[in-house]
Amino acid sequence: MTQADTVRPSGDAVAQQAATTTYRGAMREAMREALNADPRVFLMGEDVGRYGGCFAVTLGLLEEFGEERIRDTPLSEAGFVGAGVGAALAGLRPIVEVMTVNFSLLALDQIVNNAATLRHMSGGQLGVPLVIRMTTGAGRQLGAQHSHSFEAWYAHVPGLRVLAPATVADARFMLQPALDDPDPVVIFEHGSLYNTRGTIADGPVDIRRAVMRRDGDDVTIVTYGGSLPKALSAADELAAGGVSAAVIDLRSLRPLDTEALAAAAARTHRVVVVDEGWRSVGLSGEIATQIAEDAFYDLDAPVARVCSAEVPMPYAKHLEDAALPNTARIVDAVHRLGG
């Protein structure tokens, strides 16, 4: 990690306080560790090498590992994602970076028709141990074409595992279990998180389980990825008004940890789902339905949803802010449930 990514305490504090790092620095360190540990691992994508990555996540890796392990590719998602599928079939452990989620649409055939189906279509003979990283989400004034949240699209597909690290620690420790998976894994990194800082506790991370980021008794807020800071902020505001809100970070979007969702509903009897994706035919609807199917009689109110407005994401800052889930809308949703 670069000096800009990591701040280490001095003196006696070193023995007591873990280093803090940025989300991007944690992801870079996870890739560095994987590249050092396994010669089968390599990284490829647009501008991941000499430029250091569009979001500076891979900065310095080319100089450390060379062009055989850190491969800049042509501007062809269909080509380099397909090459990643082939490399995985041949026994390697590729990490493919797709610059932003909207560009992944150019590789849907490779991801959905090939990577996700080959184990099934080969009768279990062929696995595709491929990790695809992509930046997702809005909030940075990148306009409608670069602000999508398509997590629900990929979470819809059998054969894929879909992860959404929301914290620095998860960014650091989710990659290795993803590489260990014998089937393809898609990792969504929300662009608003790259500059966030946090301490890194010891790994590993259980990518099969949701985690409670804040305990509470009156209502449960369920979210993932870039919406986690907003949910925690809403919980703080609610606590100031006497409402105790639990916050669950899903971590895995496929498969969902339905046991954790049902247990939360049984405990607090009210649930709000926060999803930056669109409300219509989205992930929030699937989460709400799972809770209704598994814990209907534990609920004291219908599951509420806070999602992005049903519009292409605006470029203008004030309109973008209005279109996205925010703390005030989450708090209002909780109060409308009677929480």
77 an active-site residue? yes
User: Residue 220 CA to chain centroid, in angstroms?
Assistant: 20
Backbone angles phi, psi at 275, to 5 degrees: -140, 125
Q: Which of 77, 97, 151, 286 is catalytic?
A: 77
- DSSP assignment letter at 68: T
Residues making up the chain, counted from first to last: 339
Q: Report the alpha-carbon distance of residue 291 to residue 293 in Å, rounded.
A: 5
Q: What share of the chain is helix, strand, coil (3-state, %, to 5)?
A: 40, 20, 40
Catalytic residue among 46, 97, 146, 276, which?
A: 146
Please name the residues in contact with 195: beta carbons below 8 A apart, sequence gap of 6 or more: 22, 23, 24
- Contact by Cβ (8 Å): 219, 270: yes
| Residue 267: count of CB within 10 angstroms of its CB | 15
Please tell me the distance from the alpha carbon of residue 287 to that of residue 305, in angstroms, as a whole number. 10
Q: What is the residue whose two structure tokens read 């000096």?
A: 3
The answer to whether the CB of 157 falls within 8 A of the CB of 116 is: yes
Bridge-based pairing state of the strands 245-249 and 211-214: antiparallel
Residue 214, phi-psi category: left (phi > 0), alpha (psi -120 to 50), beta (remainder): beta
Q: Residue 265 belongs to what H/E stretch?
A: helix 258-268
DSSP E strands, 119-209: 131-136, 161-163, 185-190, 197-199
Give catalytic residue positions.
77, 146
